[in-house]
Structure 1
Amino acid sequence: MKRVNFCLGRLALVLLALGIAGTAVAQAGAASQNGYRYYQIGNLDTPRPGKTEAAMLLMGGGDWAPEAFHWWVERAGHGRVVILRASGDDELQKELFNDVGGVTAVQTLVFDNRAAADDPEVLRVVRGADAIFIAGGDQARYIRFWKGTQLNDALNAHVRAGKPIGGTSAGLAILGAYAYGALDGGSVDSVSALGDPMGSEVTMDKDFLTMPFLSNVVTDTHFAKRDRLGRLIVFVARAARDSGKGDIVGIGVDEDTALCVEADGRARVYSLNGGYAWLVMPQRAAERLTDGASLEFTAIPVTGVGAGSRLHLDGFKVDNAAFTAVASVVDGELQLRPN
């Protein structure tokens, strides 16, 4: 297979769109005047080997679990993957193409501003993807750069077409219908969120991406390592208040861990370190969620989904749970006890 690996700007994308892919057209890796950078590895002329299937790869950040990516690539029909990000460069596409393998090509778009999300050549690349992966970084940039753009529409259309999507860290943070946006420029910790759940540090967002089975979900990542159960409980309470719905569910995923969701909503965990997906399901409003006061929210069921578990997202039922527990927040202090 002919392999190319180069950084291109708008001119190269135009050439690729016209089918002139045999010549490497390179530009510097700095931000282009069009607000994005483009990288490619593999051969765009290679026929797509298989059929795509709907699937979601929900990663908690950290290192990749190879089994999870092999599963995802198979559902991409071993075809073309597009990686979207708003920082960094082409290191993920190299890892995916060279180490995971099994794809014809990987293209990366790195966004530097909002205008790029309406660029015709960017949209051409995204619409040609068999699978789309959203990298980590800063979810606030994704919301500010992509929400309400043609790229936003293209991402939702990709999912409706039954093609795989995935995200890690900040890329997972935006996949739920409700999201912690980190729009204040920081990353709120559990202690701060529990102490002031209505404060300016808890910046929530909604009505961005539309994923199957995640219409009432808010996600979080780097979960156990960064002690994020408390803040996810706050995110769930805020989403329930803002939406007026009592069925909001929180899904937290540990580092080096992936929750792989099939087209029918069945999901399993792959992890490098025995990590979990954490299911937070209060199914009601918080007892106290008011300006200037700490959170009061008791008797919240928490379920661990491990490698031997199966999660059914169509009803949020878990077979063979790794653990069950009950969380309570009293005067902003989190308590967790086994159930």
Structure 2
Amino acid sequence: MRLISFRHLLCGLALAGFAFTAAAQAADSQRDGYSYYTIGDLAKPRPEPVQPGLMLVGGGDWPYDAFRWFVARAGHGRIVILRASGDVEAQNEFFNDVGGITAAQTLVFTDRRAASDAEVLRIVREADGLFLAGGDQANYVRFWKGTPLNAAIDAHVRSGKPIGGTSAGLAVLGAYAYGAMDGGSLTTAEALADPAGPAVTLVADFLHMPYLERVITDSHFDKRERQGRLITFLARLAQEQQRSDLVGLGIDEYTALCIAGDGEGRVFSGNGGFVWLFRPQRAADVYAVGKPLSFRDVPATGIGTNGRLHLRDFRVERPAFEARYDIDAGRLTRRTP
């Protein structure tokens, strides 16, 4: 009887110790305005030098070949994931499934204070690669735009290190972004019906990426039928920015556009997806407050895994398809040129 009680005592002490350790770890991950997680060996040196690169991911499952390209650009070193929801899923996928990195760290932002936190800025500064996770891009705009973190992300890229983003993280990588600032997720029908309306919340002067200086991106592209939405964004930006050289890049799910330091982009996809290039090079035919959009003969080019997109001049090698879109009083049709 005494032996059984002693064993129970040892078991109880062990469980109590485990619970205390788990509680301490959980408490340690909660910081002022953010949570912090890590996996791997933070003390291990980066095996190879870093290289510049942009990885634009359309959401959904990860095309691992693109992520391995990104990891190689980061010198197989330390990846830092920035997000405003979720927790460890992306860092675990990087470390366990993509592989080939020394460590991954995650910063989950809950308000704007953390974007000025000295420890956050140190972690970002020491990252070999930055990855912006999916979620709600409105939080990225609210929490990061115009902060020291915003400057640190730009500095990371200027220093020749790679950056990537998926879904909401992709949305904010262009020079212009759909911010979803009204809390919704705009559909093509809604955008075409009221292109100058308050639901088309576009953001400028946030992140500053090479080769994306006149680009707005969109994700989950063909699956959610966002062709008309992206054309609407371009029409509104052309009006507001008074420029005709704007470019829209739509990325399909399970698909990524990886852009090397020389501006050459290649497509990776796990499901035969495409990168969609839109270059109207003019203003819309009808764009006015309270009126549906009319915009005829908008060219679109699809780039698949066999093609190449040269971001310096947006020249396409071996396009997968060419199409033209006509919008007449908010009604979208597609035709083959």
1:254 corresponds in structure 2 to 252
Give the aligned partner of residue 284 of structure 2. 286
Query: Is the CA contact (8 Å cut-off) linking 2:150 and 2:206 kept in structure 1?
Result: yes
User: 1:287: Cα distance to partner?
Assistant: 1.1
Q: What is the distance in 1 between the residues matched to 2:61 and 2:104?
A: 19
Distance apart, 1:229 and its partner CA: 0.3
2:263 aligns with 265
> 63, 66, 71: which is aligned to 2:64?
66
Instruction: Tell me, in whole angstroms, the C-alpha distance in 1 between the residues paired with 2:131 and 2:237.
Output: 25
Superposition deviation, residue 338 in structure 1 = 1.3
Q: For residue 27 of structure 1, report the CA deviation from its aligned partner.
A: 3.5
SS of 2:50's equivalent in the other structure is coil
Matches within 5 A, 1:86-235: 86-235=84-233
Tell me the residue number matched to 2:240: 242
Q: Is the 8 A contact 1:217 1:251 kept in 2?
A: yes
Q: Give the Cα separation in 1 of the matches to 2:173 and 2:29.
A: 26
Q: CA deviation at 1:306?
A: 0.3
Q: Distance in 1 between matches of 2:29 and 2:48?
A: 35
Flag structure 1 segments of 5+ consecutive residues without an equivalent: 1-22
1:40-61 CA distances to partner (integer Å, 9 max, x unpaired)? 0001110111111100000000
Q: Distance in 1 between matches of 2:278 and 2:303?
A: 11
Give the number of aligned pairs.
317
Specify the SS of the correspondent of 1:172: helix
**1:245-286 CA deviation, whole Å, 9 max, x = no partner?**
110000000001001111111011111110000001000111
Checking the alignment, whether the CA contact within 8 Å between 2:254 and 2:271 is kept in structure 1 is yes
1:329 CA drift (Å):
0.6
Question: 1:46 is matched by which residue type in structure 2?
Answer: K
Change (3 A) 1:117 1:25: farther
- CA 1:29–1:211 in 2, change beyond 3 Å: closer, same or farther? farther
Contact 1:31 1:112 in 2 (8 A): no
Retained in 1: the 8 A contact 2:58–2:170? Answer: yes
Aligned residue for 2:300?
Answer: 302
Letter in 1 for 2:204: K
For 2:194 and 2:61, how far apart are their aligned partners in 1?
32
Contact 2:53 2:73 in 1 (8 A): yes
Structure exhibiting the larger radius of gyration computed from Cα positions: 2
Provide the C-alpha distance between the structure 1 equivalents of 2:79 and 2:286, rounded to a whole number of angstroms: 45
> 1:136, 1:171 within 8 Å by CA — same for their partners in 2?
yes
* 1:312 equivalent among 304, 310, 313: 310
* Residue identity in the other structure for 1:119: D
Q: Which residue of structure 1 aligns with residue 47 of structure 2?
A: 49
- Matched residue SS, 2:92: helix
Q: Is contact 1:296–1:332 with CA below 8 Å preserved after alignment?
A: yes
CA distance in 2, matches of 1:288, 1:261: 34
In the TM superposition, what is the alpha-carbon distance from 1:29 to its structure 2 partner? Answer: 6.7
User: How far, CA to CA, are the matches of 2:258 and 2:62 in structure 1?
Assistant: 12
Q: What is the CA-CA distance between 1:33 and the residue it aligns to?
A: 5.2
Which of structure 1's runs of 4+ aligned residues deviate more than 6 A?
none
TM-score with structure 2 setting the length: 0.92
Q: Deviations over 1:70-120 (max 9, x none)?
A: 111001100110000000000110011011110000000000000000000
- Over aligned residues, Cα RMSD in angstroms? 1.5
> Which amino acid is the alignment partner of residue 189 of structure 1?
T
Q: Distance in 2 between matches of 1:156 and 1:289?
A: 34
Greater shift in the superposed pair: 28-37 or 58-67: 28-37
**CA contact 1:29–1:37 (8 Å) conserved in 2:** no
For residue 89 of structure 1, what is the amino acid of its counterpart?
D
Secondary structure in 2 matching 1:109: strand
Corresponding residue of 1:321: 319
C-alpha distance in structure 2 between counterparts of 1:238 and 1:68, whole Å? 32
Cα offsets for 1:226-254 (capped at 9, x unmatched): 00000000011111112111100000000
% same residue: 58
